[in-house]
Amino acid sequence: MKEYIFETERLAVRKFKPEDAKRLYEIHRDDDVKKWIPGEYYEDIDEALEGTEFFADCADNGRLPYVLAVVLKETGELIGDTGVNEVEGKPGEVEIGFVIGRDYRGKGYATEVLKQMSDHFTSVFHCKVLYGRVMKGNDVSVRVLEKSGYCFMDEEYGAEDDPYGNGMFVYKRETGYAPKLKEIAEKDNAAIAAIIRDNLKKHKLDIPGTVYFDEGLDRLSDLYKSADGRYYVLEDDNKQVIGGIGFARFEKMEDTAELQKLYLADAAKGSGLGYELISFIEDRMREAGFKFSYLETHDNLEAAIHIYEKAGYKEIERPKEVGHSTMNRFFKKEL
Average pLDDT over residues 264-284: 87
Band of residue 91 on the pLDDT scale cut at 50, 70, 90: low
Q: Tell me the CATH architecture of domain 180-334.
A: 3-Layer(aba) Sandwich (3.40)
Average pLDDT over residues 179-207: 94
Q: Is the pLDDT of residue 90 over 70?
A: no
Question: Cβ distance 206 to 212 under 8 Å?
Answer: yes
Which one is predicted more confidently, 328 or 270? 328
- The domains spanning 4-174 and 180-334 adopt the same CATH topology: yes
Average pLDDT over residues 86-109: 86
Q: Report the alpha-carbon distance of residue 127 to residue 51 in Å, rounded.
A: 25
Name residues whose C-beta falls within 8 Å of residue 100's C-beta, 6 or more positions apart in sequence: 70, 79, 80, 109, 110, 113
At residue 11, the pLDDT reads 97
DSSP 3-state of 205: coil
Nearest to 159, CA basis, from 140, 131, 139: 131
Average pLDDT over residues 198-222: 93
Q: Is the pLDDT of residue 178 over 80?
A: no
Which one is predicted more confidently, 39 or 56? 56
At residue 3, the pLDDT reads 86
Q: Is the pLDDT of residue 245 over 90?
A: yes
Number of H helices, E strands in the chain: 9, 15
Band of residue 238 on the pLDDT scale cut at 50, 70, 90: confident
Q: Is the pLDDT of residue 271 over 80?
A: no
Which one is predicted more confidently, 127 or 276? 276
Average pLDDT over residues 291-314: 94
Question: Cβ distance 91 to 272 under 8 Å?
Answer: yes
At residue 136, the pLDDT reads 94
Q: Where are the domains of the chain?
A: 4-174, 180-334
Sign of the Cα pseudo-torsion (100, 102, 104, 106, in order): positive
Q: Is the pLDDT of residue 143 over 90?
A: yes
Number of neighbouring beta carbons within 10 Å of residue 134: 21
Average pLDDT over residues 165-188: 90
Average pLDDT over residues 271-299: 92
At residue 122, the pLDDT reads 83
Q: Is the pLDDT of residue 1 over 70?
A: no
Mean pLDDT score of the chain, rounded to an integer? 92
Hey, what long-range contacts does 274-279 have (CB within 8 A, 24 or more apart)?
274/92, 274/304, 274/307, 275/91, 275/92, 275/307, 275/310, 275/311, 276/92, 277/181, 277/232, 277/234, 277/243, 277/245, 278/245, 278/307, 278/308, 278/311, 279/311
Q: Report the alpha-carbon distance of residue 232 to residue 242 in Å, rounded.
A: 11
Average pLDDT over residues 73-90: 88
CATH assignment of 4-174, among 3.40.630.30, 3.30.70.1400, 3.20.20.100, 3.20.20.80 = 3.40.630.30
Average pLDDT over residues 245-268: 93
At residue 282, the pLDDT reads 96
Band of residue 224 on the pLDDT scale cut at 50, 70, 90: very high
Hey, what long-range contacts does 277-284 have (CB within 8 A, 24 or more apart)?
277/181, 277/232, 277/234, 277/243, 277/245, 278/245, 278/307, 278/308, 278/311, 279/311, 280/181, 280/232, 280/245, 281/232, 281/245, 281/246, 281/247, 282/333, 282/335, 284/230, 284/232, 284/247
AA identity, residue 80: G
Q: Is the pLDDT of residue 126 over 80?
A: no
Please give the C-alpha separations between residue 304 and each of 258, 309, 329, in angstroms, as whole numbers: 15, 9, 11
At residue 102, the pLDDT reads 94
Average pLDDT over residues 56-68: 91
Average pLDDT over residues 98-108: 95
At residue 92, the pLDDT reads 61
The beta strand positions in 101-249, using DSSP E, are 129-135, 151-156, 168-174, 180-183, 229-235, 241-249
